[in-house]
Amino acid sequence: MTSQAFTERDVGDFFDQTLQTYLSFWDSDGVLHTGYFADETDDDYRAASARTSEILAADAAIDGSSWVLDVGCGCGNFLIELAQRFRCGGVGLDLSIERIKFARTKLASRAGLAVEFQHGSATQMPFGDNNFSHVVSQDALCLVPDKPRTHAEVYRVLRPGGTFAFADFLQPTEQISRRARRHVYDRVRWNSGYSLVGYQSALAQAGFEIVLARNLGRHLRQTYRVLGATARDRAQTTPDPAARDWMLAFSESCEQIQIAIDDGEFGWGIIVARKPAARSASNPR
């Protein structure tokens, strides 16, 4: 099924090495996730990406009492937004040290937030058991080669009754064409993913109760349509030839990515799951 077996190291290196390029055309604040667009004419990626975060926060029912872990936090935007909006606290964890450094710099310019950023992997989290009220993530978990291990880690660090709410890329079908393999999967060092149904089964197997699952493929298509056009425009004014070539190649990939989405080889969704509440001795059911 996979043409290559990318390791965590491959993934971390990719997100370290591409930080500056992504900052130069995708989002200068370092946001790197799928947008939720108003309709098919909506071209405003910034607003759409902020909307995804708002939807996920609402689905997760984050409030001022929440203690949140953002897995694959990237440049830290989601957690900082949550802390500013709800006055909650939390930790962001990411495999890319360059992105963690960027997140820490951003945090330093915002006083009084109960937030920190740590370098590390979703498969070996540097946290104690039953620690967080919420674990959130945007477009990161699919990249982990050992997914069951991540699910076990999320389960371990969540408090009983805690919420696991995330957006992620989906692999809706087993068979992946060479085109999709090249432009969707290999491009970001992604081995394989779950279908929306398969994801829910995997989480249930890890002990979670499924709260909701949304299939949001059309927003994924719109994201790559809008960003492909942005990269093409930005390439015209980029003096560095290597950066220009990267943007043009990305823009070409965006055309192919939209075909892969239409062909059912690439998808995106939001899932909310819950770690069951602890059973009391008087009510062990």
Residues that bind ligand SAM (CB under 6 A): 8, 11-12, 15, 31-33, 71-74, 77-78, 93-96, 99, 121-123, 138-140, 143-144
Smallest separation (angstroms) from ligand SAM to the CB of 12:
6
Smallest separation (angstroms) from ligand SAM to the CB of 281:
37
Q: What is the dihedral of CA 240, 241, 245, 246, to 10 degrees?
A: -40
Question: How far is the C-alpha of 164 from the C-alpha of 194, rounded, in Å?
Answer: 17
Nearest to ligand SAM of 32, 88 (CB atom): 32
Smallest separation (angstroms) from ligand SAM to the CB of 165:
13
Which amino acid, one-letter code, is at 266?
Answer: F
Smallest separation (angstroms) from ligand SAM to the CB of 13:
10
CB 168 within 8 A of CB 139: yes
Eight-state DSSP code of residue 185: I
Which amino acid, one-letter code, is at 259?
Answer: I
CB 39 within 8 A of CB 29: no
Nearest to ligand SAM of 79, 176 (CB atom): 79
Token digits for 112?
């009084």
Token digits for 135?
């674990």
Nearest to ligand SAM of 209, 273 (CB atom): 273
Nearest to ligand SAM of 32, 115 (CB atom): 32
CB 79 within 8 A of CB 73: yes
Residue nearest to ligand SAM (CB): 74
Nearest to ligand SAM of 33, 219 (CB atom): 33
Burial (CB < 10 A; 0-12, 13-18, 19+), residue 21, is middle
